[in-house]
């Protein structure tokens, strides 16, 4: 299939339109008073969401050059989600503003390299200022407020998130799963669990309950995949001794 090629102002303007179209779709979800977006699905019912990165990932434009501009901003939202876990709508809006103002400067004759260096310096200054202005969430009430906003104003979920954080601590792991009842609750699991049982029924120690229970057992944790049983022989010999 032949490639379409565009140059100079034609390419810049097409990509700008793509950036603006994606940002317009995402912008409405900004903040606690943001609105929902309905996404059509090829299979099943439409999805209603207020998550910026989810909306961004669903935007596909028919014009190839506009779609390239949209994909650039979509990457911004995705990276923000991966690194920070939130703020994807804000990142999208800022990316649109940076692109539009940067394009104006380039058209006016500003060196793109010099502008990039200036932006890097500005990022450092802004980041330092934001860290000074930041208010740490030190108490349960603050965490509940943040959780409520993230849950689209659902106070119950915000409170459960605060309870979960209090139970496991800031370094604990919280997993969200679909429940089997009508209530939303949380469960604290001590230690570590694996989502699979024993590999062979011969490992069963209690035929009545079909459980495999060991006391004072040796546990081997290895960072790589063990593909040859001979690699385990030295360890097994030590265990037998």
Position 68 confidence tier, pLDDT thresholds 50, 70, 90: very high
CA distance 165 to 171: 9
102-149: pLDDT as tens digits: 999 988 999 999 999 999 999 999 999 999 999 888 889 999 998 887
Task: Parse the chain into domains and list their residue ranges.
Answer: 8-133, 201-240
The residue-averaged pLDDT of 55-65 equals: 91
Average pLDDT across the chain, whole number: 87
CA distance 216 to 7: 70
21-57: pLDDT as tens digits: 999 999 999 987 888 899 988 788 898 888 899 999 9
The confidence score (pLDDT) of residue 1 equals 62
The confidence score (pLDDT) of residue 125 equals 95
Question: CB under 8 Å to 229, separation ≥6 — which residues?
Answer: none
CATH class of the structural domain 8-133: mainly alpha
Q: Quick check: 5 pLDDT over 80?
A: no
CA distance 212 to 205: 5
CA 228 to chain CA centroid, nearest Å: 36
106: left (phi over 0), alpha (psi -120 to 50) or beta: alpha
Who has greater pLDDT, 96 or 224?
96
């Amino acid at each position: 299939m032949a490639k379409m090629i565009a140059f100079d102002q034609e390419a810049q303007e097409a990509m700008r339109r793509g950036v603006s179209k994606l940002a317009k779709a995402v912008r409405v979800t900004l903040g606690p008073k943001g609105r929902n977006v309905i996404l059509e699905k090829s299979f099943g019912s439409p999805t209603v969401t207020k998550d910026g990165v989810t909306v961004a990932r669903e935007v596909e434009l028919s014009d190839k050059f506009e779609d390239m501009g949209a994909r650039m901003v979509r990457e911004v939202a995705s990276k923000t989600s991966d690194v920070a876990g939130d703020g994807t709508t804000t990142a999208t809006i800022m990316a649109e503003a940076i692109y539009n103002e940067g394009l104006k400067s380039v058209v006016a004759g500003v060196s793109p390299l010099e502008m990039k260096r200036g932006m890097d310096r500005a990022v450092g200054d802004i980041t330092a200022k934001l860290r000074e202005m930041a208010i740490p969430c030190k108490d349960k009430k603050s965490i509940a407020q943040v959780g409520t906003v993230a849950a689209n104003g659902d106070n119950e979920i915000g409170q459960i998130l605060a309870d979960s954080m209090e139970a496991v601590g800031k370094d604990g792991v919280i997993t969200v799963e679909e429940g089997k009842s009508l209530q939303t609750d949380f469960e604290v699991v001590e230690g570590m669990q694996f989502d699979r049982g024993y590999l062979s029924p011969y490992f069963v120690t209690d035929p009545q309950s079909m459980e495999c229970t060991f006391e004072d057992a040796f546990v081997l944790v290895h960072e790589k995949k063990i593909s040859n049983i001979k690699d385990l022989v030295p360890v097994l010999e030590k265990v037998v001794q």
